[in-house]
Amino acid sequence: MQRFFTVIGGMGTAATNSYVNLLAKRTEAKKDQDYMDYLLVNHASVPDRTAYILNHSKPSFYPALREDILQQSKLNPEFMVMVCNTAHYFYQQLQALTTVPLLNMPHVAINEMCRRYPNAKKIGLIATAGTIADHIYEDEIKAAGREVILGDKRVQDMVMTLIYDNIKEHNRVDGDLFREILTIMRDQFGAEAIVLGCTELSLANDVAPQPDFELIDPQSIIVDKSLLLGRAFKQNLAGGRQLLADVMAGTK
């Protein structure tokens, strides 16, 4: 297979399936050959990202991702995408392992946020405790000149319940809890737009969409970028590489 991309997933599997399903649903296809060419690495046994970020005595998830990046690089994909926000804790180290471009989902998402919501100054962020602790999105939002709204402990506990207890443990989306979290962030904390900084939250938004809120859904955005780049590479190698450079730079 030539001119394909690699998806590093499995963190968790249900969220990765959501990415793959969106990729298929959003492809304008009339026959099998119109869909994207990609390899899916569903590495479900990668150690928990938040557990390690909060406590470095826990197993690190870096060795598993390092193995994935090195293995896939030998196959020479045009680019790679890692569909776990918290895993971007090691983004710089992982990109340094390979010459294959690895899309930076938080960076791409916040660039897209600025295009979609140019007037939103107070940006709510809901994510795992690990993503909050390592400032992956907070740094991107601040670099874009916006104020970060994090909510409080009650909100964070609700978010972790939705992600871990509902989705990861029981493979179930509590739409009412999801909506309550968003309502609190908007009405009590004044968030003008809200970043869904975890792919399980993106899954929640796919299963129980919330059209009443201004949301930045990184997984949805990275699906669109994957399609944009996948089509470009299938049509023209040079054009695909130029578009990839633009996406990596945040100009597309």
> What positions carry a catalytic annotation?
84, 198
Cα–Cα distances in angstroms (integers) from residue 226 to residues 83, 102, 158, in the given order = 11, 11, 31
* Residue tagged 């939002």 (tokens): 141
DSSP string spanning the chain? --S-EEEEE-TTHHHHHHHHHHHHHTS--SSGGGSPPEEEEE-TTSPPHHHHHH-TTSPPSHHHHHHHHHHHHTT--S-EEE--SGGGGGHHHHHTT-SS-EE-HHHHHHHHHHHH-TT--EEEEE--HHHHHHTHHHHHHHHTT-EEE---HHHHHHHHIIIIIIIIIH----HHHHHHHHHHHHHTT--SEEEE-SHHHHHHHHHS--TTS-EE-HHHHHHHHHHHHHHHHHH-HHHHHHHHHHHHHT--
As beta bridge partners, residue 196 has 126
Contact 163, 86 (CB under 8 A): no
Separation of alpha carbons 38 and 33, rounded Å:
12
